[in-house]
Structure 1
Amino acid sequence: MAKGFFISKAVAGSCVFVAIAATATIIALSVVYSQEKSKSDVLPTVDPSVTPTTQPTTPPGPKEPWQHYRLPDSLVPLTYNVTLMLTLKPVVDEFYTFSGKSIVTFQCVKATDLILIHSNKLNLTTFDNFHAKLMGLNGAEAPKIKKTWLEVPTQYLVVQLEGSLKPDHMYELLTEFVGELADDLGGFYKSVYFENGIKKVLATTQMQPTDARKAFPCFDEPAMKAVFYMTLMHPHGTVALSNSMNYDPVNVTVEGNDLIKTSFMATEIMSSYLLAFVVCEFTHIETMENSVLIRIWARKEAIDEGQGHYALTKTGPILSFFEKYYNISYPLTKSDQIALPDFGAGAMENWGLITYRETALLYNKGVSSNGDKEWVATVIAHELAHMWFGNLVTTRWWNDLWLNEGFATYVSYLGAHEVEQDWNMKDLIVLNEIVGVMGVDALASSHPLSSREDEVLRPEQISELFDAITYSKGAAVLRMLSFFISEDVFVKGLNTYLDTFQYRNTVYQDLWKHLQMAVDSSSIELPVSIEEIMNRWILQMGFPVVNINTQTGHITQKHFLLDPDTPVERQSPFKYEWIVPVTWIKNGAEKQYWLTKKEDTNPDMKTAPGEWIVANVDMRGFYRVNYDTENWERLLTKLSIKPEDIPVINRAQIIDDAFNLARAKIVNTTLALRTTLFLHKEVEYMPWETARRNLNYFYLMFDRSDVYGPMQAYLKNKSSNLFEYFEGITSNWTTIPKNHTDQYNQVNAISMACDTGVEGCQELVTNWFKQWMQNSTHNPINANLRSTVYCSAIKAGGVDEWDFAWKMYKNSTVASEANKLMYSLSCTEKPWLLNRYLAYSLDSNMIRKQDATYTIVYIASNPIGQPLAWDFIRAKWDFIYTNYGGAMSFGRLISGVTKRFSSEFEYKQLLQFKEDHAGQLGSATAALEQALETTKANMKWVALNKNQVHAWFTGQNSEM
């Protein structure tokens, strides 16, 4: 537990000094802003490159230390004393600023005459023409500063010295600065919302991965851990929060501004990306759990409506679960969680002050759906898992981001299961994480979970790592590991790993070592070491397809690619060969076998006449399975006669494997389609959801061709049974299914029935929506069904329905409800309304910046909207890149808008887009390569399969 501290006189008096020193800069910035505003409606970003002391950048090929993106190992930060002041009043129009002062104490490890410290988009005050002051501590003499400048590409403040800093000596570096409180959702930024018609402005942070340097100069790398002392000076009527508890606020007057000064206790030693602070007018609810203060913060209206209650009741039990799971007490005295109106990510695990999108923390009973509730539970569990795994013990560099995020994703399902044990969360990880990411990892343009440190240097390269591979595949392989060494042994290894490295940094090999120690002290037998097994899963991209011949027992493995004709340019240290834990069921008994080479023979996998096996039990392993023709036929027969004999996850897996094997030309597409024949007998969510997702690919490829009609007729027949089933168990839609996954499948039943024209469905949802339009103060539609009902009604309706939904979206005070409406507005079949909606998406007064990506992707998911969205982002890319870089997921945007591409014309358009915007793609670079590969694969697949798919659906319809 951290102790309090006393602010030095220098720091205590700094606020007035900072304000005076910053005044000229603020005036200058406001002049620049006014000039730029007259040219464009785009809010300018404060750029230190305009200052006279900025040095020109040397051409490519780093020669000098400041041209390298990684900090040298000569200095280590110890503490920061940071004071920030803000009034939350615009300097001019919507231009807000903050001013600050930072004193970083650091130790010299190796003699150097150079200080490199990160600083980005800060206007630094000069002292005798230098951007900083240097002081020696404990008798150390500080050399004089020779020159300072801001190196823009690498985002450094460079301080050249006339002499050298000495090893083992300590120094202080003082900087003062002014920054823009922009709406770019990165660093220290502003968020605007309205309460009772009154505009409110708050200031908050998002430092991960490389934006702490936008709030104050710092050594902004995860291994550069330090202790932070924060002081915030903020307006009356606001509250200031940070990672640690605050001292009693005091009133101060600075430059005629009456402000509150809130100082915070020392943080634990931690990485700069975990620092957080918020100034807002929020209120909160609180409780104590095992001597930990738990507070949920949000807009007053949201708290008054009880939207924070669910999070408050679940946070304590989840914290307690992880304390037992890790066998280490929660290391802080409080856990603040705050719901922000504008937040680019889902949530951020800042130690002691977790920031969330409103949809990830707030739940309103009667308005939010069961899916919203599940999202809140899993995101809270994910972020709280990080309090130990990521915060207490932190990976050394971003190349091992998967270790933090993959682990937190995996155990979030365990934490959510702890507090909602009837939700089946340990199974839902398969649908929510594993099935989807296998599609990404089956591309030749995928990437390994872990790369070399020198392959991930620039901020945009780091940002690219925040993708499905890192989160979902990371979770999948850790889940697989936990199964084959057992959960008990897995947890034991985690315990010693966290205990050994607490408050330090690690690499993935450290985890393997401690898990191996746990295995060695158990009765678990492995064919080789954990490191040998797991390195094949994290150091090479992709995964294998395991081919099992049940007639001979012959088993092989091969790198699975959706398009096997695409050359794999990335080399693998293991030549794309894995050590695979193969599990299977035969005659009701489960067995396990290790496939340690390309091929082998296992007599236990041979079957007698009439016997069948299903491999990869509950999809515990990260691989696909293919069988000989005889076993496929026996599985299809079993599904048609008595599907419940096959575990529900494996029923979903059979469908998913078959469809993906067909896309890879390993099995015939008609075999994949035959795995859906039994669905008229199926009422479980996981098989239906897997079938729906895979058949959605057929819609993407064929909804503009003559395949569409027969496909619709077939799916109408299958979904009508599910529609009737839920109509029956809900007493004609008047009750809600008790089971969590049944509630999800009820949504599928209505969605597919309305989409395929099942009698009575469209009338049902349209009537519900009309009732709401007639009385907007009373929504008769069940919260679980709203997304699909809204979408179907708006699709069938016209401008009146769209305008009503838009009005309700803008007036909604519940974020999850607003999200449902935001999605449903994209369902209209009126092109002019979709174009209007696209225009709104890049107007932050209409659509929040955090929601721009989702809005455009939703529109692109509509077959009418897809070409409109593609034209829109091509026309607006310069604006998007310049103004939405921190707020928009470029990778998600590119993949979402191009997922329907399947023609040579579209492929050439993508190539042209890549050429037109070379150097202006940022974090979209990898996604664009994946889109090109996927488009090429889609073109081949459509050409190969269109005729047989048309014939199969036509033939099935004739038999109905």
Structure 2
Amino acid sequence: MCWISSNVPFFSTNNSSSCRRAFYINRANNGTINSTSSVAFSTRSMERGNSGEGSPSICEVVSSSPNASVRVMFRQRPRRFFCSSEVDDGNFIRRNALLITFLNKKFRTIPEDPLIRLPTDVIPIHYELHFKIYLPYKNGIDYGERNFTFDGNLRLHLLCRQTTNVLLLHSKSLEIDYDKATIWMGGGTIRLEGPRIIGWKELAGRNDLLEMRLDRALLPGRNYILELGYKAKIGKNSQEGGLYQSHYLNEANGENRYIAATQMQPLDARKLLPCFDEPSFKAEFSISVQHPDGTVALSNAPIEHTRNVERTFYNYVDIFGVPSLRVAAMENWGLIICRQQNLFYIDGVQARRDKQFVTDVLAHEIAHMAPTGQSQLFYEHTVKAFRFDQVAHQAHALSYKISSVREVARRFDRITYLKAAAVLRMVEHTVGENIFREGLRSFLRNYKFKNARSDDLIRFMDSWTYQTGFPLIQLIALNSTAVIASQVQFFYLQEPSSNPSSWKVPLFINGNTTNNGSEDVIILERDSVILHRYQLASRARLLEDAFTIARTGLISFELAFKMSEYLVEEKEYLPLLVFNNHLQHLLLLLRNHNKSYLIRSFILEMLETQFHRLFSSHFTNNADISDTLREFAMVQLCQWNYPPCIGHSLREFSRVRSACRDRKMSDQKIPPELRGPVYSTAIRHGNIDDFDFLWSKYLIEEYDSERGRILSGLVGTTDIKLVELSLNRFIENIRNTTLIGFNPEDFYAFLLKFVRSPILNDVVDSMKRNFRMFANKIPNTLLMKVILTFITKWMNSESDLAELKEFEIQHKKVLTELRLLDYLHEQITEIRANEDFVNKYAQTIIAYLEKRKDERNLEKQKINKCQPLIN
């Protein structure tokens, strides 16, 4: 076995040419890598201007070994890019990876499902829209039964491309005035009466389609205008999409004020207007809004006219903060909408990591890609992509057949979002930043005002676009001079798949090896940003891969635990975070084992030195990192009842109760990053008065970040009655828009925080008992899905499955109405995988930790025996 190691993170950028080498390598006796003795280069070059538009240029690198099972090749598109074996100054060869292409599968375009796509017989050209908004934005404004509704008038300009007497649009929850709807022929000032609409049919249950049948056909090449009016409700919260209401506190007079905002990604434009709600139907919009006096209308449409009021001009972008939004932010071109808590940073109220997050969100929305150099952010996003895409029943390809509108929304998930970003990052790193950016510019120019298909991307990405999951890469030393790679599809809850699928993978080899005793170590490039699991890389990646691969049985958990022991000296955040995530997962799966305390003891042992180091007055490392580590250490150590941490937290909370008796919690002096663990520890070891004090502060707190910390504190209670009380308070008030503190985003965050509850089993049992009540009071599929996930997530036995079956029988009607029955069935796969994991590894893990504990106790006894006697 050829082990791969690195002592720095894999995700930074390094343009050094010394670390680029061919894949198939020889290992010389002195430990260096000879990258040319076993590789022959052959090239086919298409120079600029010598080929048609879009023709691919290909450089191939073919192994000269007769036993080689791989073909290594460069691929580049479009025409302006070229390759040549003569280029050795780094312009091409140095900046291109070797793509290991396993030639056993062809990828084809996935046919589009005609059942859910609008026909292209008629296409939209221009939407003319007028809205009248009935928004009672403050006290004294009242429209009676029209409160929180809007009227819409649509004039839709159409172009007929093929003869048809049926017009199909998307429409959802819109009350259309069918009697007054008309179609005109002609697109200019002269209009003639067009076909009459003789029949309407709302196909709400099938893709939200509105069907109009005409008395005569629309003719190809003709322009038509559809005119209609409608009215609809403004959504009660951000989860409903379309045009929805939100609210904020006017500090000048203490009044609640309302706003109306839009969120239409991915399928909610149809809630605002009848339209062609698919990306391929591009059109222009003209919008006018009639809104209440005292309010302002903002749009991302181009400005119609301007006048000079300043002599100095600045480039700027409009970003609008709303109190609630179901996503972190939305990159509407010309007017970015951002959840308010993600838009502002206030020193002393928010932690430095909040500042980092605000910066990341804004940079992401402005550039709509991960900011260059944000290595930690990219690493965490990649790990998230791994975690969702490595679970068999959750994983899916980036491009695949969609069978229903519901599936579009369901698949608009973190795998699609994060994996796509990771794959693009991998392509950029493979071909180089300059080439990637020039190719991207060319791609965007070519498809501006159009829609690109996945087939239009470079072929290198086919395997990543059309296949589920990602590969596990294994490097094996054939002999003293050669190494080969193999790959298998990776899912962590089961054995590596025998699925013949394979991926085109760029592997970067560092030009130097190291000798550590008897082991030769070959370093895969430490800056690698490739979306696959190595069987070893940087410290954080080492731990991440070791614990994950241990779940498949390819390596032992004993090895993963031993690799973790160095963490008592670790000074970086990421390795500690990775370690903690995996140990927390193990602890939750084995929480009912009578010796699960051994896992808690191991966590404490690895982290307790962090507490003394990070809270020492002599600690002078980078302030940003130390704050993050301080928070991390406080959260974990207080959670596991580490006495110094508990004492520190209780003293701080006592001071806060005195100082903030008549003030908001955001006014206090505890460092922001430490408030969450202080609150949680105080509530866990406190009484109902402490709980009520913190709850009262939640109700008046204006800062979202501080409200989040208070919620983290409230879930620390060990009294199930207080848990149920707080959940009921949320549920009763989540639709009461007169209370500023309650919104779906807060409730969603509150539910997720219960995974750290010290009485997790009691919380799960309570949610099962009260599931019907939850469904009746919050018929919101997303929130109910979170509750259902919480109930099923850590089930791991036959008795759990029997209990789940009984749960399904009891709540089948509700689950069907919420469209969660299929989701419940999906959880059975994960429960069986959890059960299999416990059966396979629980005893092995516990046995190793017991043995380790005994060995350490024996060592301590020997040390004590050797202590000199003191007279």
Same fold (TM over 0.5): yes
2:239 matches 1:191 = no
Alignment of 1:358-369 (within 5 A): 358-369=340-351
Look up the equivalent residue of 1:500 and give its one-letter code.
Answer: N
Give 1:317's aligned residue: none
What does residue 400 of structure 1 align with?
A: none
User: Which amino acid counterpart does residue 728 of structure 1 have in structure 2?
Assistant: S
CA contact (8 A) 2:473 2:534 kept: yes
Which of 353, 377, 384 is equivalent to 1:436?
384
Compared with structure 1, are the counterparts of its residues 194 and 559 closer, same or farther at alpha carbon in structure 2 (3 Å cutoff)?
same
| Greater length-normalized contact order (CA 8 Å, ≥ 6 residues apart) | 2
Q: Which residue number in structure 2 is paired with residue 902 of structure 1?
A: 796
> Any residues of structure 2 matched to 1:485-524 within 5 Å, and which?
485-512=431-458
**Residues 631-646 of structure 1 aligned to structure 2 (within 5 Å):** none
SS of 1:244's equivalent in the other structure is coil
Measured in 1, the distance between the counterparts of 2:847 and 2:146 equals: 60
Q: How has the CA–CA distance of structure 1 residues 247 and 475 changed in structure 2, closer, same or farther, with 3 Å as cutoff? A: closer
> Match for residue 22 of structure 1?
none
Q: Secondary structure at 1:121's aligned position in 2?
A: coil
The CA deviation at 1:288 is: 12
Q: In the alignment, residue 521 of structure 2 is paired with which amino acid?
A: W
Structure 1 residues 808 and 737: CA distance shift in structure 2, 3 A: farther
Shift of 1:461: 0.8
- What is the match of residue 458 of structure 1? 404
**Aligned residues between the structures:** 715
Pick from 746, 749, 773: which aligns with 1:851? 746
1:176 aligned residue (229, 233, 241)? 229
2:373 is equivalent to residue 478 of structure 1: no
Instruction: Give me the whole-angstrom Cα distance separating, in 2, the residues matched to 1:287 and 1:688.
Output: 52
**Alpha-carbon distance in structure 2 between the residues aligned to 1:685 and 1:103:** 56
- CA separation of 1:145/1:756 partners in 2, compared to 1, >3 Å: closer, same or farther? closer
Q: How does 1:742-761 map to 2 (within 5 A)?
A: 742-761=626-645
Q: Which moved more, 1:546-555 or 1:804-813?
A: 546-555
- The equivalent residue for 2:494 is 564
Q: CA deviation at 1:491?
A: 1.2
RMSD of aligned C-alpha atoms? 3.2
788, 798, 807: which one aligns with 2:687: 798
Tell whether 2:650 aligns with 1:772: no
Q: 1:206: which partner in 2?
A: 263
Alignment partners' CA distance in 2, 1:780 and 1:287: 42
How do residues 303-452 of structure 1 correspond to structure 2 at under 5 angstroms? 335-385=317-367, 408=368, 411-414=369-372, 417=373, 425-430=374-379, 432-452=380-400
Give the CA deviation at 1:338.
1.5
Question: How has the CA–CA distance of structure 1 residues 621 and 911 changed in structure 2, closer, same or farther, with 3 Å as cutoff?
Answer: farther
Shift of 1:940: 1.4
Deviations 1:637-693 (A, max 9, x none): xxxxxxxxxxxx711111111111111111111111111111112111111111111
What 5-or-longer segments of structure 2 have no aligned partner? 1-112, 137-141, 858-871
Distance 2:426 2:783 in 1: 29
2:583, 2:603 within 8 Å by CA — same for their partners in 1? no
Residue identity opposite 1:191 in structure 2: S
Q: Which has the higher helix share?
A: 1
Give the match for residue 217 of structure 1: 274
Q: How many angstroms apart in 2 are the aligned matches of 1:865 and 1:135?
A: 65
Contact persistence 2:492–2:552 (CA under 8 A): yes
* Correspondence 1:512-911 to 2 at 5 A: 512=458, 531=459, 533-550=460-477, 552=479, 553-564=483-494, 575-585=500-510, 587-588=512-513, 609-615=518-524, 617-618=526-527, 620-626=529-535, 650-728=538-616, 738-776=622-660, 777=663, 778-843=667-732, 844=734, 845=736, 847-869=742-764, 871-872=766-767, 875-876=770-771, 880=775, 883-885=778-780, 888=782, 894-911=788-805
More deviation in 433-442 or 614-623?
614-623
| Cα displacement (A) at 1:892 | 5.2
Corresponding residue for residue 84 of structure 2: none
Counterpart of 1:434, as a letter, is T
Post-superposition offset of 1:580 = 2.1
Judging changes above 3 Å, is the alpha-carbon distance between structure 1 residues 653 and 881 closer, same or farther for their aligned structure 2 residues? farther
Question: 1:291 & 1:469 partners in 2: Cα distance?
Answer: 38
Q: Distance in 1 between matches of 2:222 and 2:710?
A: 59
Distance 1:793 1:287 in 2: 54
Say which is worse superposed, 903-912 or 833-842, in terms of deviation.
903-912
> Which of 187, 190, 194 in structure 2 is aligned with 1:137?
187
CA offsets 1:569-615 (integer angstroms, 9 cap, x no match): xxx7xx322222223457458xxxxxxxxxxxxxxxx9993322344
CA distance in structure 1 between the partners assigned to 2:633 and 2:384 by the alignment: 21
Structure 1 consecutive aligned stretches of length 4 or more whose deviation exceeds 6 Å: 286-290
| Aligned mates of 2:654, 2:337 — CA distance in 1 | 38
Aligned mates of 1:88, 1:774 — CA distance in 2: 42
Can you list the C-alpha shifts for 1:839-872, whole angstroms capped at 9, x where unaligned? 2332314631233222222224425245534653
Report the CA distance between 1:550 and its aligned residue: 4.0
CA separation of 1:834/1:889 partners in 2, compared to 1, >3 Å: closer, same or farther? closer
- 1:151 equivalent among 179, 193, 203: 203
Match of 1:161 in 2: 214
Q: Is the 8 A contact 1:446 1:542 kept in 2?
A: no
Classify the secondary structure of the residue corresponding to 1:827.
coil
Provide the C-alpha distance between the structure 2 equivalents of 1:757 and 1:948, rounded to a whole number of angstroms: 26
Q: Which secondary structure does the structure 1 equivalent of 2:298 belong to?
A: strand
Task: Give CA-to-partner distance per residue, 1:921-944, whole Å, 9 cap, x none.
Answer: 767577545533322122111122
> Does the C-alpha gap of structure 1 residues 870 and 375 become closer, same or farther in structure 2, counting only changes over 3 Å?
farther
Change (3 A) 1:881 1:80: farther
Deviation per residue, 1:43-65 (Å, 9 max, x gap): xxxxxxxxxxxxxxxxxxxxxxx
CA distance in 1, matches of 2:491, 2:561: 20
* Deviation readout 1:810-853 (Å, 9 max, x if unpaired): 21111121122223221211111111122233231463123322
The structural deviation recorded for 1:905 is 2.6
In 2, distance between residues paired with 1:203 and 1:588? Answer: 61
Separation of aligned partners in 2, 1:238 and 1:617: 54
SS at match of 1:728: coil
Deviations 1:177-223 (A, max 9, x none): 11111314211111133324312121111111111111121111111
The one-letter amino acid paired with 1:76 is I
State how far apart, in whole Å, the 2-side matches of 1:874 and 1:231 are: 50
Change (3 A) 1:587 1:662: same
Please tell me whether the aligned partners of residues 449 and 474 of structure 1 are also in contact (alpha carbons under 8 angstroms): no
8 Å contact from structure 2 (residues 731, 777) kept in 1:
no
CA pair 619-884 structure 1, distance change in 2 beyond 3 A: farther
CA distance in structure 1 between the aligned counterparts of 2:817 and 2:383, rounded to whole angstroms: 28
Cα distance in 1 for residues equivalent to 2:418 and 2:785 = 16
- Partner of 1:201, secondary structure, is strand
SS of residue paired to 2:684:
helix
In structure 2, the CA distance between the partners of 1:853 and 1:94, relative to structure 1 (3 Å rule), is farther
Structure 1, residues 889-936: CA drift from partner, whole Å, max 9, x if none?
666554455332222233344455567548737675775455333221
For residue 615 of structure 2, give the secondary structure of its aligned residue in structure 1: helix
Identity of aligned residues (%): 25
* TM-fit CA distance, 1:145: 1.9
Asked if the contact 1:445/1:929 (under 8 Å) is kept, the reply is no
Q: Is the 8 A contact 1:193 1:201 kept in 2?
A: yes
Q: Within 1, Cα distance between the matches of 2:448 and 2:310? A: 27
215, 221, 235: which is aligned to 2:292?
Answer: 235
- Separation in 1, partners of 2:617, 2:421: 35
Once the two structures are superposed, residues 154-184 of structure 1 have per-residue CA deviations (whole angstroms, 9 ceiling, x without a partner) of: 3233211111111111111111111111314
